Amino acid sequence: MPSLPVFISIIIPNYNGAATIGKCLEAAFASRYENFEVVVVDDCSRDRSVETINPFPCRLIKLTEHAGAAQARNIGVQHAKGEIIFFVDADCLLTPDALSIASAACQSHGPGFVIGGTYTLEPYDRSFFSRFQSVFIHYSETKHLEHPDYIATHAMVIAAQTFQAAGGFWQEEMPILEDIEFSHRLRRMGYCLVMHPDLLVQHVFNYTFIKSIRNAVRKASYWTAYSLQHHDIFVDSGTASIELKLNVVCWCLSFLLITGCLGFPAWLLCLSLLLVNGVNFLASRNMIRKMVSGIGWWFGFKAAIYYFLLYPAAVGLGVTVGIGQYLTRSKSK
């Protein structure tokens, strides 16, 4: 008799995710792969998450105190039976072939590799800002398929023995960055990170303009504080890409030029603006191309305007906040 495919444990941390956890579990159990289990760790939710999870044939671990996503994932692995661990978030929907792709990738690469996936180009909800975020992250995370800087927990595939050997996620790390620290630690231990462009999850963003801007500020602040602490501020790191960093610098230079802070004469001002923004566009041309090819020309046009004119202002504000957080933390040590 042919042997069963490798057993996979899907680990899903959930905190007040009643609006999406049901969709997440429906997608997981709709998988074309057969040999898997689902472990949900409810992190002391105060909404109707548990009532939503209960009808599904998954293992539900209910925490009595809020512990955070890192601890929830670690606890999930402690209760998992699979040889392979597949981390996914409660607002992400596995595509039907995701587990099959993960299984084949693990058998191909072996336990010394950690395999990452990313978002589909089209998110679950189709608002402009949700689409922008999904394509932006998809492009950023698949730019370096070999040796990416990190593997995100919205689609991280790792051998159970590797996860245990690495010591799991550190709970003391800054919010939303435990997977970054974990990826860096894995690399230092000699494990290889690989991105698989066909390993996809569909994210439920429900982004409005305000939510998109707020997300950019929040993530940029954490990224900046973390990068300053670990001395890798100039690394081309997924969504904290060289293109985005250059975009922020060029936006700031353009702002200084337009407001007259640099005191340039008119002809030099126009030439400088043309040069600065020309360099910026050339650096980000592949991302804009992905926006166009993934969704369409009209979307790509609007996305370029948002990316070049508004998004860097939010990221720049987050960078400023992050620098302040880093300095405050340094002084307190």
User: Does 2 fall in a domain?
Assistant: no
Residues 58 and 192 in one domain: yes
Residues 241 and 165 in one domain: no
CATH of the domain at 26: 3.90.550.10
Sorted by sequence, the CB contacts under 8 Å of residue 61 that are 6+ apart come out as 39, 40, 41, 42, 75, 76, 79
- Return the pLDDT at 45: 97
Residues 191 and 263 in one domain: no
CA dist., res. 293 & res. 286, Å (int): 10
Number of domains in the chain: 2
Residues 144 and 254 in one domain: no
Joined together, the tokens standing for residue 177 give: 């960055």
User: Does 1 fall in a domain?
Assistant: no
Element (H, E) at 292: helix 285-294
Element (H, E) at 291: helix 285-294
> In this structure, are residues 155 and 115 in contact, taking their beta carbons and an 8 Å threshold?
no
> In this structure, are residues 75 and 46 in contact, taking their beta carbons and an 8 Å threshold?
no
Average pLDDT, the chain: 94
CA dist., res. 53 & res. 280, Å (int): 46
The predicted-structure confidence for 236-286, as pLDDT tens digits, reads as follows 999 999 999 999 999 999 999 998 877 888 889 899 999 999 999 999 999
Residues 37 and 104 in one domain: yes
Nearest to 284 by CA among 314, 257, 308, 265: 308
CA dist., res. 112 & res. 276, Å (int): 43
Residues 190 and 247 in one domain: no
- State which residues of the chain have pLDDT below 50: 1-2
User: Does 248 fall in a domain?
Assistant: yes
- Tell me which residue has tokens 């002809």: 267
Residue at a domain's end among 175, 207, 239: 207
Distances (CA, A) of 6 to 89, 103, 115, 117, 304: 22, 7, 15, 18, 43
User: Does 3 fall in a domain?
Assistant: no
User: Does 93 fall in a domain?
Assistant: yes
**What is the full DSSP assignment across 226-239?**
HHHHHT-TTS-BTT
- Return the pLDDT at 1: 40
CA dist., res. 131 & res. 122, Å (int): 6
User: Does 54 fall in a domain?
Assistant: yes
Residues 252 and 267 in one domain: yes
Residues 130 and 149 in one domain: yes
Domain of residue 162 covers: 8-207
